[in-house]
Chains A and B, each alone.
Chain A
Amino acid sequence: MTTTASQTAGPYWHIIDHPEWADLRRGENAAMAGTSITLTGQITDGDGTPCGDAMVEIWQAGPDGAYEAGFHGFGRCASDDQGRFCFTTLKPGPVPGPGNSLQAPHITLAVFARGLMNHVTTRAYFAAEPLNEADPILALVPEARRPTMLARETAPGVWTLDIRLQGADETVFLDI
């Protein structure tokens, strides 16, 4: 069998939006120990125009580097009129990679929007994290474009990763 084709989420996906999902410290996660962080950024198109109708989903490991082992690592956020999204979460730990490798702490982001036939996927790594140097996925990305996957700490605990869908400094998207 072949997979069902992806189709755009369109501009009216907010009908299924739950703004509280942007806070990964909700529910049972509230009891988890870890470093509380904000992950934010602005989504722009090839003209530099903010994308105010996007849906951003994140998927991450818990502070211990494990997926869904106590920490529910899913979040969703609507971009605002300025194209900005904002999650509050706990910083993930390093995750096992292919073979015996170790992946640096990262958060997977998926962006859905009008005009995107399929969602685009990237990762937010944490700038200045020593494990980035040996990360097996970052190693596949040309060095000059790696900064588009490095969130910067723009205020204490606030990590910023802008997403440029097209053009100069276009974000590196991953074919997963």
Chain B
Amino acid sequence: MTEFPRPAPGTWPPMNSPAYGSTRRRHALHPPIAIPHTLSETSAPRFTPSAYPAYADMSVHEGQAAMGERIIVGGRVLDEDGRPVRGAMLEIWQANAAGRYHHVRDQHDAPLDPHFAGSARVFSDEEGRWQITTIKPGAYPWGNHAKAWRPVHIHFGLHGQGFAQRMITQMYFPGDPLLPLDPVFMATPDAAARERLIAQFDLDYALENQALGYRFDIVLRGRNATPMEDHK
């Protein structure tokens, strides 16, 4: 039996975050109504690689290598007890090395890369582990104010074992000078919670002469309701 506690205060960004202009007319004025978790929240879609094929390498598209610095990003999907979340589907998307999305509405004056599409789909294994190969994305201007550029980031969408676990987040890179200026990143009040959105540079994920590595562990809502005997 799994329970899905609400996030601790301050660890998630408030829906009304005025420094991020797009929240102004899109956040609800009424607080959401808390409901007990029913089957509709504790069950989740079953995504299998047979129906939702995995593709883990964004660094090559149609047989051609993308421009930019090839990296490996990997980590684990865990619950709040630190136990692996198995079979979680991760949907991943990002801008190319020049900071341009392969998207019709992205009009940023940076080159598109015909060999970079910018999406991946992977599943966590028995230990909650997952891994992708990609290109380090670029920063890009986004118009929130005159010189606003998004810090380098990769989008992650996760589907866990209950629909209450469904979440989308962004992974950032260590040492990015744009982070303290970014209203999306900075909207989360708790500094430790913000730090957990930043990947760790990790040579254990690197491939010799091929790619550097970053580790990004993702913790979904979820806690064992009845302590298991073998759980320390």
A residues at B contact (CB < 8 Å): 1-16, 27, 45-47, 49, 51, 53, 57, 59, 61, 67-68, 72-74, 95-98, 103, 106, 108, 110, 112-121, 123, 136-137, 140-141, 145, 165-167, 170-176
Contact = CB atoms under 8 A, between A and B. Distances in A.
Contacts of B185: 7
Contacts of A119: 166-168
A110 B157 CA distance: 13
Contact of B39 (A96, A116, A174): A96
29 contacts: A1-B78, A3-B80, A3-B219, A3-B220, A5-B169, A6-B7, A7-B155, A7-B184, A13-B155, A13-B157, A15-B93, A15-B101, A16-B92, A16-B93, A45-B26, A67-B40, A98-B38, A106-B40, A115-B26, A117-B12, A136-B36, A137-B35, A165-B28, A166-B27, A172-B30, A173-B28, A174-B35, A175-B34, A176-B163
Interface residues of B, number: 77
Contact of B32 (A2, A16, A175): A175
B7 A110 contact: no
A19 to B, nearest CB: 14
B114 interface: no
B185 to A, nearest CB: 8
B146 interface: no
Contacts of A96: 38-39
A46 B167 contact: no
Contacts of B194: 5
A1 B197 CA distance: 14
Interface string B196-231: 110000000000000000000011110000000000
Contacts of A173: 28, 30, 32-33
A16 B158 CA distance: 12
Q: Report which residue of A95, A118, A136, A141 has the largest number of chain B beta carbons within 10 angstroms of its beta carbon.
A: A118
B193 interface: yes
A-side interface mostly: loop
Nearest to A123: B40
Nearest to A10: B155
Contacts of A15: 93, 101-103, 117-119
Given A2-B8, A3-B220, A172-B33, A117 B196 contact: no
Given A15-B101, A95-B38, A108-B40, A4 B167 contact: yes
Given A8-B22, A46-B25, 12 more contacts: A1-B81, A2-B196, A3-B221, A14-B103, A67-B39, A68-B43, A72-B46, A95-B38, A115-B21, A117-B17, A167-B29, A172-B33
